[in-house]
Structures are given as structure tokens and as C-alpha cells.
Amino acid sequence: MGSVFEVLHFYLIEQFNPFWFVTVVGTGISSTILHSFFYEIDGLRFLSYVMFGIACNLLVIMLALLFANMLFVCKRESFESYFNIYFQDSSISVFWGLFPMGLGVLTNYIFQLCDNELNDLQTVRGLVLFVYILWWIDIGLSLTVTWGVTFLIWRKCSASVTMENIPAILLLTVIPSITVSSSGGTFTMSELLFTATSESIQTMTLFVTCLIWFSAFLLTIVVLNSYIWNLYVNKIPPFKQVFTIFIQIGPFGQASFGFLLLTNNIKKYIELYYPVSEFPPDDRINTLAVICSFKVCGALVALFLIAAGILFTIISVLSVISYSFAPSNSSILAFHKGWWAMPFPLGTMALATEEFYRQYGQYVSANAFHVLGVIYGFTCSLLTIFCLAASVVVYSRDIVTVLNGKKEDECV
């Protein structure tokens, strides 16, 4: 019994890594996609409940392991040692971005339940306020990672980030802020938030989401430019890291989704608080022009970002395929933690393409985006299920192997 406890303590607490929050991110975004799946296939909504339940349980488990690891390291060494290990080392610190990302996608799902399924007004009002408070907590966590971890990377020269090695995982420091701004966009101008709060709260929320989106996207462009330059100079990453190329899809999909929501919310805000009917006839055309300009701007920027996301999807797939045919790299398809780099980026593209279809499908024929959304969403969900199952199998096998090795040593 002691051996089992020692092995679990070593693997789960001593070896804790914030990378493990990727399981929450993958299952969370899959639950959101399945809940509003585009062709309303029977059973998918129920599967979304299962995914959401798994994501919530994983979040609780990861938080428990996080605090246990923090107490263990601080007790054995010091808080300074903990800070140096988990925040000063950029090969570990960038993965803290996965925590607020996971919290953000779970917040989206809870609001979906409020908006589409729950009927009790008192319960809905309470949950909407809970979502709003959770969103502000997520903002604090996201900005801490985006500003704090980025500053630490800039401040301290690390051997893991050099001119010859600019990894895609650096994007994990900026994606949380784009995610939290998109999360705010899902409920900012909703009737549920309006009835639960006030106009001033909606106005403030709209400005906050706008500021966070633009600041995060600015940093994203800087990191992406550096990473793309790295691809030109140092070529595609080694085959063990090739799946990380999928990470660069995430900012484009999430930014497109967020910008579509932002411009649509501005349109709703003008229509709600500055209705055209209240203006003199000569000024009505100006109000309509402002509304149309935001919608056109949203369409153009979203199309640009979706196009970039599709481009890097193709490049990422080709990169994996190119290594698959290399005889020396025959194990490329064997599961490893790099597989978790795929579900979330593909899920963001599903959200972006489907949101574009929902907003502009009434004006133009946009069925292609609907189909793209289905393909991306279905692929994301399948990959998440596969990664979850494979992670359990691989991790359990490793623990059993270590335990068997200990038993053999005791027998000898």
C-alpha cells in the first residue's frame, strides 16, 4: 500500500505540471460545440453534458493537485523555489495559460445552459450573475498570465527560448486573453445579462471585452510573426514537437469568433440604446451607416482570420503527414501529450466558422462556413475523446509498470 501511495504521490503531486489543464480546455470546448451542434444529431446534447461533467471534475482534480504540489514544494524547499520552477522557467510557465482558458470555455457552457435550456427565472438570474463573476475572475487570471508570464519571459533570458528556438507554446500566454474576451462577448448584450444587471454594466463589459481583445491580439501578432520567422529559418519542428504547430490555429479561430461577437454586440448596443426611430429623419441614415459599418468590418476581419486559420490548418496537417512517411519517425502516430495540442485550436475554428454562418448566412449564401464548422467541430470532439481515453491508458500503464518494478525489486 505504501508503494502505491509513493508512486501516486510522485506522479500526481511531485511531477505536477500546469500542462495538465489542457484536458480541461479540450473537454470544455468539446462540450460547448456538442451542446450547440449544428445538425442537431440525437444524443450529442447528452454527450455534451457528459463532456461538461468530465471537464468540471478534471478542473477540480487539477486544482487539488496544484495546491498539493504548491504545499509540497514550499514545505520541502521554499516559495521562491516554487516560483523559480513554475514561473521563471518558460518551458513550464507558458502552460499556466491553459488554466484560464479552461475556466473560460466552462463559463461559456454554463451561459449556454442558461440561455437555451433553463426556464426558472430565479435560477437563471443567479447563474447569470455567477457566470459574470466567474468571468471577472477569469479576466484576472488571463491578464496575470498574458502580462505577468510574458514580462517574466522578457525579463529573464532562458535557454529554452532563443533566436534559434521560438516554440509555438509561447502563444499559450496570449490566447487566454483572447479567449476571455470572446467569452464576454457571448453574454454582454444578452437579454439575460440586461435583466440581471443594468445598462452601465453592459456598457462597461463591452468596453472591457474590446480593450482586452485588441491588446491580446496585438501581442498575438508579435508572437506569431516571431514564430513564422522561426519556421522560415529553422523549418518545421522535430517530429516529437510537430503537433505544436496546431497551436497557431487557435489565436486565429478564437480572435475571429471574438471579433464577430464584439461587432455584433456593438450593433445590438446601438439598436437597443440609440434606436433609429428616436432620431430626426435626416440623422437616421447616419445611425444605420454606423451599424452597417461595424457589421461589414466584422465580416472582413473575421474572414481574414478564418482564412489564416484554414491556411495554418493545412500547413499543420501537411507537417504531420510529412513526418508520417519518414521511416525513422514511424512512431509519429503513437499517442503522446503533443496530441492535446489539436482539439482546442480546431474547436475555435468550429466556433468561428459557425458564428460567421449564423450572423451573415441571412444576407449571403454562407453554407460553406456551416459545413466547415461541422468538420472542425466533429474533428475536435473525436480528438478530445481519443486523447482522454489514450491519456488514461498511457498514464495507468506507466504507473502499473513502476509498481510492478517495485514489487520485483522487493522480491529480489
Residue 192: CB atoms within 10 Å: 20
* For residue 125, pLDDT beyond 60: yes
The CA distance from 73 to 82, in Å, is 6
Percent of the chain's residues with pLDDT above 70: 91
pLDDT band at 95 (very low <50, low <70, confident <90, very high): very high
pLDDT at residue 118, as a whole number: 77
* For residue 328, pLDDT beyond 70: no
* For residue 412, pLDDT beyond 70: no
Q: Averaged over 235-250, what is the pLDDT?
A: 86
The larger pLDDT score, comparing residue 261 to residue 36, is at 261
pLDDT at residue 36, as a whole number: 81
Q: Averaged over 206-225, what is the pLDDT?
A: 94
Query: Under the phi-then-psi rule, with left for phi > 0, alpha for psi from -120 to 50, and beta for the rest, what region is 8?
Result: alpha
**Triad 240, 245, 251: Cα angle to 5°:** 145
Which phi and psi (to 5°) does residue 162 adopt?
A: -130, 175
Task: Identify the DSSP state of 14.
Answer: I
104 CB-near residues (< 8 Å, 6+ apart): 135, 138, 142, 176, 179, 180, 182, 183
- Compute CA distances 1 → 6, 69, 367, 405, whole Å: 9, 21, 59, 15
Cell 447563474: give the residue: 127
- Compute CA distances 314 → 170, 244, 318, whole Å: 21, 14, 6
Radius of gyration of the CA atoms of the chain, in A: 23
Q: Which CATH class is domain 2-411?
A: mainly alpha
pLDDT at residue 326, as a whole number: 64
The CA distance from 308 to 251, in Å, is 10
Full DSSP string of 176-192? HHHHHHHHHHTTTT-HH
Alpha helices in 77-97 (DSSP H): 79-83, 90-93
Name the grid cell of 249: 490555429
Q: What is the pLDDT of residues 52-67, one digit of tens each?
A: 999 999 999 999 999 9
Q: Specify which of 100-104, 193-197, 242-246 reaches the highest per-range mean pLDDT.
A: 100-104
Question: Nearest-CA neighbor of 385 among 51, 36, 21, 18?
Answer: 51
Cell 512517411: give the residue: 325
* For residue 5, pLDDT beyond 80: no
Q: Averaged over 20-47, what is the pLDDT?
A: 85
In one-letter notation, the amino acid at residue 365 is S
Alpha helices in 84-143 (DSSP H): 90-93, 98-116, 121-143
pLDDT at residue 241, as a whole number: 81
pLDDT at residue 102, as a whole number: 95
* For residue 237, pLDDT beyond 60: yes
162: three-class secondary structure by DSSP: strand
Percent of the chain's residues with pLDDT above 90: 56
Q: Averaged over 264-280, what is the pLDDT?
A: 84
Are 276 and 284 in contact by the 8 Å Cβ rule? The answer is yes
pLDDT at residue 193, as a whole number: 83
Least confident interval from 78-82, 323-327, 369-373: 323-327
pLDDT band at 39 (very low <50, low <70, confident <90, very high): very low
Give the predicted TM-score (pTM) of the model: 0.91
Q: What is the pLDDT of residues 131-165, one digit of tens each?
A: 999 999 999 999 999 999 999 988 875 545 554 45
pLDDT at residue 167, as a whole number: 75
pLDDT at residue 7, as a whole number: 75
pLDDT at residue 165, as a whole number: 55
Which phi and psi (to 5°) does residue 106 adopt?
A: -70, -35
Question: Nearest-CA neighbor of 145 among 21, 28, 260, 228?
Answer: 21
Domain spans of the chain, in order of start: 2-411
Which phi and psi (to 5°) does residue 112 adopt?
A: -60, -40
* For residue 330, pLDDT beyond 60: no
Are 293 and 313 in contact by the 8 Å Cβ rule? The answer is no
The CA distance from 23 to 46, in Å, is 20
* For residue 303, pLDDT beyond 80: yes
pLDDT band at 313 (very low <50, low <70, confident <90, very high): very high
The rounded mean pLDDT for the chain is: 87
